[in-house]
Amino acid sequence: MLDPAARIACLETELEETYRSVTELTNDLSAANERLQRLSLFDDLTGLANRTLYHDRFDLIRAVADRESLSLLVLLMDLDRFKEINDILGHEAGDLVLRTVAKRLKGRLRDSDTVARMGGDEFAFLLTFGNGAQGASGVISEIVEIVQQPIEVGTTRVDVGASVGVARYPEDGNDLTVLLGYADKAMYQAKQNGGGFHIHDTSQDGGKKRGPLFFVGDLRNAIEHGELELHYQPKVDMRTFEISGVEALVRWRHPDRGLIMPDDFIPLVERSSLIVPFTLHTVSLAINQLQQWQEAGLSPSIAVNLSPRSLHDLALAEELVELMRDWQQLSNHLMFEVTESALMIDEAKAVRSLIRLASLGVAISIDDFGTGYSSLSCLSNLPVRELKIDRSFIAKMHVHREDLAIVRSMIDLAHKLDMSVVAEGVECRDDWTKLAELGCDYAQGYYIARPLPAEEFAVWSRRWRTTAASH
């Protein structure tokens, strides 16, 4: 029988041992977990990321690229002659080649880049670039070159080549599967060209006409360096011939490529995080112009187009409110044009944004009206001042009686809802006469004037006023 003191000492030792083994077990378990995790996220043979980790990294890097307006390139690389090496020299030689290539790639890439082995002799990369992916071709050529360096396999020196296909986020798409598909097609093209790399060109897809290719970084530079400018197209009162306002239409004066039209770059703006700086920038340009015109004794109101995405970004609405705070006196000369179809994407959010913007005294106009199937109840609940009949109806109203009937009922509808109505795409005298007959309030289109740079608009408007006075 032990005395109580000896019993306690004994128990303490037992406890200590139990504690030690629990700690050991915990350590073992976490090491095992770590090993398991490594096994499921890394490629066993090369230690590179595997397919699962690659997909994970894409989500992560995409978020950074969005935030910082970086270009993100998705690369797929296939080794040339790998199959022959494997067949002739055996699997061990093949494994050695893969490990050597992986080691060289890891040595070359930055910590922020990702390289993964997707299986077999296929590797995938995620590379980010600021400044419109300048320097990307240099890095990709280097990747090809370091793979091409001879590899010692025992006493044999083998030469492997590489074919690399490149797709760009967000220019070519938002979804990794889509981007990998494009990169795969481009890689095939590179192989056909005898190796090296090939960048996917969306304009070759299905023969669809596409504008020139740009990187997000190019556009960010354009905003920062003041390369975007607004041109102004007048809206004219059909009864008094007075210029009631202008629509601001953005153009990009590219230092090398000349004047670029919005359809060639707005889709990219819409898909990228540039939407916020872009929208704030165009509104600021319009505000500056309003100020200048007011100082010069001109007072047309300016309508700025808001892209569908900016209508669903409540934080952007707040930023616009903030921007306008200093320009309260100009807000009744500003209008926002939002397309009918944009309203329909998320009606509740769009309504909240519009109500917030209208609270500043800025008028709202519904653009491309007739193409978006908006509900009447939605329209009547919104602080909308103007409907713009889509130009496709104006173009067809002389040909199809139904289109004429649609134009007529849109004009009546606008008036019943206490809104004014603008016909866009008025291209000839017949258009004008017909619309005047139907009671349309304002006209806009090439018949009156094309979109003009600010100085030309000033000249045009002086001339218009003198001729309008004689009508």
Binding site for ligand C2E (CB under 6 A): 233, 249-250, 261-263, 266, 282, 305-307, 367-368, 391, 425-427, 445-446, 451
Could you tell me the smallest distance in angstroms from the CB atom of residue 461 to ligand C2E?
16
Signed CA dihedral, 29, 30, 31, 37: sign only: positive
Closest CA to 70 of 131, 154, 144: 131
Give the residue with the Cβ less far from ligand C2E, 130 or 267: 267
Q: How far apart are CA 387 and CA 117, in angstroms?
A: 55
Say which entry of Ca ion, ligand C2E, none residue 266 contacts (CB below 5 to 8 A, set by partner kind).
ligand C2E
Give the residue with the Cβ less far from ligand C2E, 104 or 309: 309
Nearest residue to ligand C2E, by Cβ distance, number only? 445
Give the residue with the Cβ less far from ligand C2E, 38 or 450: 450
Could you tell me the smallest distance in angstroms from the CB atom of residue 389 to ligand C2E?
11
Could you tell me the smallest distance in angstroms from the CB atom of residue 390 to ligand C2E?
8
Say which entry of Ca ion, ligand C2E, none residue 249 contacts (CB below 5 to 8 A, set by partner kind).
ligand C2E
Q: Which residue has the tokens 């006409």?
A: 209
Contact in structure between 420 and 442 (CB atoms under 8 Å): yes
Say which entry of Ca ion, ligand C2E, none residue 418 contacts (CB below 5 to 8 A, set by partner kind).
none
Q: Would you count residue 368 as binding Ca ion (CB under 5 A)?
A: yes
Give the residue with the Cβ less far from ligand C2E, 139 or 250: 250
Q: How far apart are CA 103 and CA 146, in angstroms?
A: 10
Report CA dihedral (252, 257, 258, 261) to the nearest 10 degrees.
-40
Closest CA to 268 of 362, 392, 184, 174: 174
Give the residue with the Cβ less far from ligand C2E, 102 or 443: 443
Say which entry of Ca ion, ligand C2E, none residue 366 contacts (CB below 5 to 8 A, set by partner kind).
none
Could you tell me the smallest distance in angstroms from the CB atom of residue 305 to Ca ion?
5
Q: Would you count residue 305 as binding Ca ion (CB under 5 A)?
A: yes
Closest CA to 337 of 363, 358, 313: 363
Could you tell me the smallest distance in angstroms from the CB atom of residue 299 to Ca ion?
21
Could you tell me the smallest distance in angstroms from the CB atom of residue 394 to ligand C2E?
8
Could you tell me the smallest distance in angstroms from the CB atom of residue 314 to ligand C2E?
17
- Residues 6 or more apart in contact with residue 276 via CB below 8 angstroms: 310, 313, 315, 316, 319
Closest CA to 121 of 158, 71, 172: 158
Q: Would you count residue 386 as binding Ca ion (CB under 5 A)?
A: no
Q: Would you count residue 367 as binding Ca ion (CB under 5 A)?
A: yes
Residues lying near Ca ion in the complex (CB under 5 A) = 305, 337, 367-368
